[in-house]
Amino acid sequence: MNTNVGSQPPCSGLRWRSVRIDGRIARYGVGGFGPRVLFLHGWGLSGAAYTRPLEQLIGMGMRVYVPALPGFGGTARLPEAQRTLPGYAHWVGQFADTIGLPRPVTVVGHSFGGGVAITTAHRLPDLAERLVLVNSIGGSAWTDGRGVMRALRDRPLWDWGLHLPADLLPGRQLTRVLPVVLRDAVPNMLRNPAAVWEVAHLARTANLGPELAALAERRLPIFVVWSKRDTIIPESTSLSLQAALGDPHTITVPGGHAWLMDDPHAFGELITNVIHQPLPAAFDQPVAGAFPAAVADGSAA
Give per-residue pLDDT as tens, 122-132.
999 999 999 99
Task: Please report which confidence band the pLDDT of residue 6 belongs to, taking 50, 70 and 90 as the band edges.
Answer: very low
Task: Please report which confidence band the pLDDT of residue 287 belongs to, taking 50, 70 and 90 as the band edges.
Answer: very low
User: Alpha-carbon distance 218 to 284, whole Å?
Assistant: 6
State mean pLDDT over 10-28.
Answer: 87
Task: Please report which confidence band the pLDDT of residue 165 belongs to, taking 50, 70 and 90 as the band edges.
Answer: low
Residue ranges in the chain assigned as alpha helix (H): 51-59, 85-99, 112-123, 157-168, 173-176, 178-191, 193-205, 209-218, 235-245, 259-262, 264-275
Contact in structure between 91 and 123 (CB atoms under 8 Å): no
Range name among 4-18, 145-159, 164-178, 202-216 with the lowest pLDDT average? 145-159
Torsion of CA 74, 203, 230, 159, to 10 degrees: 110
Percent of residues, the chain, with pLDDT higher than 70: 69
- Count of helix runs (H) and strand runs (E) in the chain: 11, 10
Range name among 21-25, 92-96, 150-154, 188-192 with the lowest pLDDT average? 150-154
* 127 phi and psi angles, rounded to 5 deg: -85, -45
pLDDT of residue 295: 31
State if pTM tops 0.75: yes
> Model confidence over 255-278: pLDDT tens digits?
888 899 989 999 999 999 999 988
**Is the pLDDT assigned to residue 176 strictly greater than 90?**
no
Cis amide linkage into residue 104, ω under 30° from 0: yes
